[in-house]
Structure 1
């Protein structure tokens, strides 16, 4: 009798604890599967994110309107708004078949980089390419940008197109913060009457011009700086380019349109 009870007790323990061990192993196994799936999914998501943001790795991100984030694409193209007009500031050949239209912000570091690139493009392509500069000051990120843009327009009014581009080059090349006083200093070095410049700025004479550029950028689908377009004036073909596009990529895009 004792042997039977002993045997029964042993079998009962084996069943209970054996089942418990099996269930525990099953739970551990399931946890491993779930964890593996989670990490695999996270890895896939990260790869997809990086693939979708290659420009972020290249350092040519645009500064975004209404946010501190970067590297967002131009969403739509309104060619009628983008097309150059007589009121535009154009460097290079204003009658060229290929025109680069840039929406820029004087305080944007990516715009500074792109400005150097575009100067080289104009030097290298001669009369084959024109470059339009329009204002897109992101005041939420760069409080001085709107006043800098106004100053450049006052310089254009007082000194003409050549002085406008000289002022633009100087602002982007400046090693110090370009305040209103610094803008006046730069303008004075270019031969602009600083008293007249101050009057132009204080009177808000160029506010509407800067605001007009900004609104045209919004209509064109620009949401960050630099916001760029390459347009074939003859065919109307227009290609949006986001951020501080490197020289080699700009050259490739322009050469493609010239063919």
Structure 2
């Protein structure tokens, strides 16, 4: 079994209003070099969406990243590695709005979407529904099912609005009905991530999806170059859940 691509890695461009390198440490070149060293065929640079004030990519940097990746691919593709430009967009609206617009979509190769504390909500109502109710529901049962319902509905609406390739760490930080989300994801050929960094997808969640027609990726969510391709924890969970390995699209089975 061999991991052939890591489609969730971050660079110094995940900086928000702060100095580069505070949140994620590597440059695009350093991530590419690490991926090549690990024997990967593809690596995706997916910095946080611009709506996150602490570590979002600045919109004006995305065209620059596109140019840099195109240049680097001239060097790395003959060596067997392709670099993709992506964004890990933030869910910012209960109506499924994310913080990546059409202007930015034209620059990228892959679109991830997830939920993160600290993203700027679309409206005050969205702020309460997404960024107040979810943290509260972690500590108090009251509102937990309502939050789960709102989250699931928002994810599904996002899938119907945007060309999302991968849902990053679904269920982490914001509970979802993972079965309903998986069914909708499959309609759009969207993969679910088994994250080596986050607790989701967990063994328990994966067991719920054994009979659901949906496919997965195992990713590192690396914030430092040395972590790229390190997906052992994600694979461990998949194996423990008895998930058929042919449903993980970025591994090669010998």
Q: TM-score range by the shorter chain?
A: under 0.3
- Structure number with greater Rg is 1
> Which protein has the bigger helix share?
1
